[in-house]
């Protein structure tokens, strides 16, 4: 057994338990990753609160992780044992139920197509903060058919998705003018991300903004009010469901290691930066407190969990495993040929 956080009924954060959970067995095209860091997302607590995605109990929450490949099933070709990888392990568009074993566990199983090599200049904590948020941010620009040189207005520039949307707009999609909203305390922070102009929503109403934009990107579900800053034919993207304005189009995400590979050069040259909320990282034993903070909606960047248990934790033998084989285990530090 391994240590994991899980819940056996829907409800508040208090339904979470820390206890023993079975080790995963790799299926065809899956790798086993020893998790070094994980990040929390709103979908993690929304899924816990009500049955928005079908899944069987008990459920280990968590989508994002970074860690080390310790075993692999048949058919795996992209990764070798010992590789440092990161990714979002839950494909929300795939048929069937979501994985019961999320990333708040010592070891997880994931399809090799969903993960990518960790950029060498990023820590495990930084890498874990990226996958779901950056995939969501990228999907918005793709859904809007955004063109180089266009202007973009980002609602919620200081959140997990917003911080990446601002950076992507400026440095990846080459927007000519980037404006973002945030609260008073975060204005300078969002400016440093690359926004050309930052609007404090606590003292400026959308109706007071005279400029009109080629793309309105709403990361918090406020397009029922913010739509006034979009040009008449401009796309309005809302990453929350349901969209709060008739013109808005919902944008989810494409979960793939390929989109993480696309941004790798921008992470390694510093044009894209992982943003971890300064209250963290939270220890593995403090997951409930991390959820409490995330659910306030005040996070600046991503809420990250690290370090994970490693002392005296078992691990998989370093060899390829068939899909019907149960993994052998050895103590950490044992040399396996």
Q: Please give the pLDDT value at position 76.
A: 97
Altogether, the residues listed in the chain come to a count of: 337
- Residue range 79-131, pLDDT digits in tens: 999 999 999 999 988 888 899 999 999 999 999 999 999 999 999 999 999 99
CA-only gyration radius of the chain, Å: 20
The fourth-level CATH superfamily of domain 133-250 is NAD(P)-binding Rossmann-like Domain (3.40.50.720)
The answer to which of 234-248, 255-269, 320-334 has the lowest mean pLDDT is 320-334
CA distances from 301 to 3, 46, 108, 129, 219 (A): 27, 18, 24, 8, 13
User: Global pTM?
Assistant: 0.90
At 312, the pLDDT band (50, 70, 90 cuts) reads very low
User: What is the pLDDT at residue 295?
Assistant: 96
- Enter the DSSP assignment of 7: B
Q: With contact defined as beta carbons under 8 Å apart, do 143 and 237 qualify?
A: yes
Cα gap 98→72, rounded to integer Å: 20
> Which architecture does CATH list for 2-130+274-331?
Alpha-Beta Complex (3.90)
Instruction: Tell me, letter by letter, the H, E, C secondary structure of 279-334.
Output: CCCECHHHHHHHHHHHCCCCCCCEEEECCCCCCCCEEECCCECCCCCCCCEEECCC
- 50: tokens are 């009500």
Calculate what percentage of the chain has a pLDDT beyond 70.
Answer: 92
Arithmetic mean of pLDDT, 312-331: 42
pLDDT confidence of residue 324: 39
Checking if the pLDDT of 270 tops 60, the result is yes
Q: Residue 38 forms beta bridges with which residues?
A: 65, 305
Written as one string, the DSSP assignment of 15-47 is: G-EEEEEPPP---TTEEEEEEEEEEE-HHHHHH
When pLDDT is averaged across residues 277-298 and rounded to a whole number, the result is 96
User: How would you label 220-247 residue by residue, b for 16+ Cβ within 10 Å and e otherwise?
Assistant: bbbbeebbebbeeebbbbbbbeebbbee
pLDDT of residue 311: 55
Helix residue ranges per DSSP H, the chain? 42-49, 124-128, 131-143, 160-171, 187-192, 223-226, 257-268, 287-294
CA distance 246 to 240: 13
Question: Are the C-beta atoms of residues 225 and 206 closer than 8 Å to each other?
Answer: yes
pLDDT tens digits, one per residue of 172-194: 999 999 999 999 999 999 999 99
Confidence (pLDDT) at 323: 39
Q: Is 151 helix (H, G, I), strand (E, B) or coil?
A: strand
**DSSP category for residue 229:** G
Least confident of 138-147, 150-159, 259-268, 311-320: 311-320
* Average pLDDT for the chain: 91
Share of the chain above pLDDT 90, in %: 85
Quick one: pLDDT at residue 94? Answer: 83
Domain coordinates in residue numbering, the chain: 2-130+274-331, 133-250
Residue 315: the pLDDT is 52
Residue 96: per-residue pLDDT: 82
Given a cut of 70, whether residue 331 has pLDDT beyond it is: no
* Helices and strands: H and E segment counts in the chain: 8, 16
pLDDT at site 334: 25
Q: What is the mean pLDDT of the segment spanning 22-39? A: 97
In tens, the pLDDT along 38-81 reads 999 999 999 999 998 878 899 999 999 999 999 999 999 999 99
Alpha-carbon gap, residue 78 to 117, rounded angstroms: 9
Residue 223: closest CA among 199, 240, 204, 203: 240
Q: Which two tokens stand for residue 331?
A: 């103590």
């Amino acid at each position: 057994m391994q240590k994991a956080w899980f819940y056996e009924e829907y409800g508040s954060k208090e339904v979470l338990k820390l206890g023993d959970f079975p080790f995963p067995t790799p299926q065809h095209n899956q790798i086993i990753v020893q998790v070094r860091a994980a990040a929390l997302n709103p979908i993690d607590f929304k899924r816990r609160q009500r049955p928005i995605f079908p899944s069987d109990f008990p459920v280990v929450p968590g989508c994002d992780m970074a860690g080390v490949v310790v075993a692999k099933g048949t058919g795996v070709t992209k990764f070798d044992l010992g590789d440092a990888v990161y990714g979002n392990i839950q494909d929300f568009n795939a048929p069937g139920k979501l994985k019961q074993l999320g990333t708040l566990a010592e070891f997880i199983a994931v399809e090799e197509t969903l993960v990518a090599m960790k950029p060498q200049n990023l820590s495990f904590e930084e890498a874990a903060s990226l996958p779901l948020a950056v995939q969501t941010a990228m999907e918005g620009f793709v859904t809007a058919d955004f063109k180089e040189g266009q202007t973009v207005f980002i609602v919620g520039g200081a959140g997990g998705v917003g911080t990446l949307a601002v950076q992507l707009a400026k440095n990846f999609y080459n927007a000519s003018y980037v404006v973002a909203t945030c609260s008073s305390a975060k204005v300078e922070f969002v400016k440093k991300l690359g926004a050309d102009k930052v609007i404090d929503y606590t003292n400026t109403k959308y109706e007071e903004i005279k400029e009109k934009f080629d793309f309105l990107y709403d990361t918090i579900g406020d397009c029922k009010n913010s739509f006034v800053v979009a040009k008449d034919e401009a796309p309005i993207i809302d990453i929350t469901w349901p969209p709060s304005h008739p013109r808005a189009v919902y944008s989810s995400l494409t979960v793939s290691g390929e989109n993480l590979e696309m941004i790798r050069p921008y992470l390694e040259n510093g044009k894209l930066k992982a943003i971890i909320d300064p209250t963290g990282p939270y220890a593995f034993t403090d997951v409930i407190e991390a959820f409490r903070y995330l659910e306030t909606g005040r996070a600046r960047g991503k809420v990250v969990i690290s370090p994970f248990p490693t002392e005296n934790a078992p691990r998989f033998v370093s060899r390829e495993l068939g899909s019907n084989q149960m993994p052998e285990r050895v103590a950490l530090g044992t040399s396996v040929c």
